[in-house]
Structure 1
């Protein structure tokens, strides 16, 4: 018995048959293998080409090409005899017309309707291009078209602030990447974070570059090809022209970043200036810039004319933004103005604290200090950010290095591999928030005593119930709250969601070895709770002590032997199926021994 053809192959063939019938109305012909290869579409499985008359009486040859995965991958529209690159917006090198954004959803069940819609939209787009209505799209998508115009490496990584003024900036030129920043300190910090120790960073050769802010978004036809084009782009900007003139006279700068505000955000390009040679055609030395003038006396007008002449070529470079505001929200997250200047200290960098540190950095909190004296063990790596390569190293030190390398734009990621019970109080004083995630009562109790007696910043305490059945986040402001008010003297919360036989502990064949089994999936809910509360407490802190609880799905922890704690039923009610967040004010207990002791001392 013959094997049935794979379903996807059958659906593909059925779609092609339907398209063959559809394209009969266009007098289209199937493209052969050579024609498909000519448009350099690596995924082309079939194509149809046909002529289309447009409103200006022009006739163009279009082609619809589908990949082997069609109808589960989109069809493409090509203009086989269109203009060259950067003559029309949305038209790529091989004639591909980008009609829809790459993330567009389309029907996988109506292939003919999908192709019909593609043609309608594509023909309308071509009509606009033929009518000359191209400037708005070119300007709105400046970065895409600039990047398509670049002629050579390297890539420029930009840390500069998109604030709209022309200025001198700092640059490091690596073999593959150039990195620019507003200050030498910011640039060295990024290089140190990204590539290694400060000792190595000290050896980086950092020089100067220019950032020129353009008054208008240039069209591709105006992208600079020579020095005179650079002058034209900033004509009328006295500050930009003066910066250029000084750089030419001093021969100190040969790379210029171009910034511009578009309708959809800030974009950057970069050019390398090719200064006139210092030798004439027969090898004699000469000074084409300063000739006829004493050193330092060359007027600005002549400096610009001689250094940025039509004969002086420029090379265009691709720019990628790696600054804080772009990475965190692409200039559209207003919270970053506050978050990038905040500093948090995370005490405890285990399964809860390590991911919290990573999430805090990725959320844009600019300064992190990690405190943990434990080392990574093999049994940790199943639910820790760090993996096998970090086994045997200090959690805090290795995690800080990991975050610096992967989020090099952060202002600071520090580590203190010290036993949390012997924490140096001075490390805590200038924090905006202390987050305690050690899960060790002695540590939390110490922080609570220090906060009450020495006026430490606000503390956010986070812990898990056995099997990660529930997670807790308790915020204690700098004044007017006490963690001990809601805990026993051994750190058992007065209010828990669940209770367990043997406190949920599972023994292992080691001296004093016991743990609560849970994996990263259960832990993710706790990470979400605590990271969300960290952000909230930095941006809009509660005015009084507050307690937020994630209740895991009841069926999961009940199957592992947990049951609802009776006090939870009395205070908060039946959790039902779980999968919810509850919150309440953190209690103030009249009989709290910590509070009584402090009151007596006062």
Structure 2
């Protein structure tokens, strides 16, 4: 349904077309200005010049009522009225600064540079996907972590094009100017008022490089914006590009109209940004030496979550340990898929993480941790996600007898058939160690989550080489990994929160027990008589 009419009937009388294409109102009605410049001297915020579409409402922030279509459409029109009046009268000039990228970009450039970087950088075309011929434009100091990924995916050493990064004020533009700039003359005219320190930067960069194309980056408080300048084919002569290269800037001043300009918006992918973006005010795991024992069902997902939380970055290190190989029976609930069959799980997970996050310093130990326990003492945090009680008891013994020099140990596992996830942080001598949670091996756990009449189901399938397993859905493993990761993040942020936590995932099989900080037990065979 399409309706024609005017916005701001008593004032601007701006003609629009309102298109209601979604009667569920998941997406708001589309409002397009018939004349995008009506009522103003030119461009105003929230209007896309290409087709006059008016951005008046954030459909993800406001829920529209599908059961009241007439009132909903009126609500949208009133909101559009208000936004348009404020925009034309200059009340939303800051919005134009915030939206600058929408009016600038012909494409995007991935930025692997610190936010405060200024000076010479390099533009490179890199392959991130071995199965695709597509290349991404990336700017860095020439030694980006993504270069390793590029070469891993069959890419050759990429040519690096000079790209000076220049600090400029917040960028906007004069609606009376031709926009966006399409040649060097228009670019320099705009930069004279918007970014005076960058005027002439293209010409100087051409003189310092080779070829007929040149880049610069305008680093502003409202984003980092790239200029790609390309000399028209008719002027790409050896005389200009080689013999008179040192004076090319002077020549370009006379042929500014023959230098095509394209704009690109920068998208940060640097290590500091990627691993801080989702953390809010929390500290991530960067800079820590973390050892994860067990890269199975729970540990595989946990390895990925730890890495995405910054483990293995910022001079930190993530070490993965497992002595088992990935089998066909594991595919239904493991992080890794068929390309990793018959590979050691620790090696496979480390390889997978390097592919996903090339910044990581991640190593693997494809054998039992008990073969070399000295590595444990070199960590800031040890995580045991094996779910193997005998191994956990052995690690706990090393931790308790090694205090206070031994790092804290975080244990995590699933109870029953994934009926509950449990995690406990140990290391505080006044609180429970792992063995304090079940003093007698054949006894009742201190926190008995599983209901008394529930029997743990096991499976046996020798044909798959999987002699014994406990069935539970993959969702339970992912939840357990998340619980353990949360406690690791709390540790990195000062150790707040309860040390023992659980999540009940099947209320028919398990009961909910409040999180707590359980005290040590004197009769515990591990920590009894240990001061």
Q: TM-score, normalised by structure 1?
A: 0.71
CA distance in 1, matches of 2:406, 2:252: 59
Cα 1:488–1:479 shift into 2, 3 Å:
closer
1:68 is displaced (CA, Å) by 5.4
The 2-side partners of 1:474 and 1:213 are apart by 48
**Which ranges of structure 2 fall in alignment gaps of 5 or more residues?**
127-133
Asked if 1:438 corresponds to 2:371, the answer is: no
1:364 counterpart residue number: 310
Does 1:317 find its partner at 2:272? no
Q: What is the aligned counterpart of 2:214 among 235, 240, 254? A: 254
| Cα distance in 2 between the residues matched to 1:330 and 1:121 | 31
C-alpha displacement of 1:437: 0.4
Q: For residues 496 and 7 of structure 2, what CA distance do their matches in structure 1 show?
A: 64
For 2:218 and 2:81, locate their aligned partners in 1 and report how far apart those are by CA, in whole Å: 34
| Aligned with residue 3 of structure 2, among 37, 48, 54 | 48
1:409-448 equivalence runs, <5 A: 410-423=359-372, 425-426=374-375, 428-448=376-396
Shift of 1:349: 0.8
- The aligned counterpart of 1:35 is none
Contact 1:472 1:547 in 2 (8 A): no
Q: What's the CA shift for 1:334?
A: 3.7
Secondary structure at 1:353 match in 2: helix
* CA spacing shift, 1:233–1:395, aligned 2, 3 Å: farther
For the residue of structure 2 that corresponds to 1:508, the secondary structure is strand
Tell me if 1:167 matches 2:100: no
Compared with structure 1, are the counterparts of its residues 117 and 353 closer, same or farther at alpha carbon in structure 2 (3 Å cutoff)?
A: same
Query: How do 1:480-499 and structure 2 match up within 5 A?
Result: 482-488=433-439, 494-498=445-449
What is the rounded CA distance, in whole Å, between the counterparts of 1:162 and 1:354 in structure 2? Answer: 32
Q: Secondary structure at the match of 1:105?
A: coil
Q: How high is the TM-score relative to the length of structure 2?
A: 0.79
Gap change, CA 1:333 and 1:284, over 3 Å in 2: closer
Matched, 1:350 2:296: yes
1:327 deviates by: 3.7
Question: How many angstroms does 1:530 deviate by?
Answer: 1.0
Task: Give the 3 Å change call, closer, same or farther, for CA 333–507 of structure 1 in structure 2.
Answer: closer
Instruction: Establish whether residue 214 from structure 1 lines up as the match of residue 168 from structure 2.
Output: yes
Moved more, 517-526 or 466-475: 517-526
Q: How many angstroms does 1:74 deviate by?
A: 2.9
Q: Is the 8 A contact 2:201 2:216 kept in 1?
A: no
Q: 1:593 to 1:341 in 2, by over 3 A?
A: closer
Q: CA deviation at 1:280?
A: 8.2
Distance change in 2, residues 1:278/1:74 (3 Å): closer
Distance 1:218 1:423, change over 3 A: farther
Mapped partners of 1:374, 1:282: distance in 2? 62
Structure number with larger C-alpha Rg = 1
1:120 is displaced (CA, Å) by 1.3
Q: Determine the structure 2 residue equivalent to 1:584.
A: 517
Which residue of structure 1 aligns with residue 152 of structure 2?
Answer: 196
Q: How does 1:67-86 map to 2 (within 5 A)?
A: 67=21, 69-70=23-24, 73-83=27-37
The 3-state SS of whatever aligns with 2:475 is helix
Q: Which has the higher helix share?
A: 1
Shift of 1:347: 0.8
1:391 to 328, 332, 341: 341
| Aligned counterpart, 2:131 | none
Q: Deviation string for 1:238-266 (max 9, x for gaps)? A: xx78987764442269222222113xxxx
| Count of residue pairs brought into register by the alignment | 500
Displacement of 1:322 in angstroms is: 1.9
Matches within 5 A, 1:505-520: 505-510=457-462, 513-520=467-474
1:105 aligns with: 63
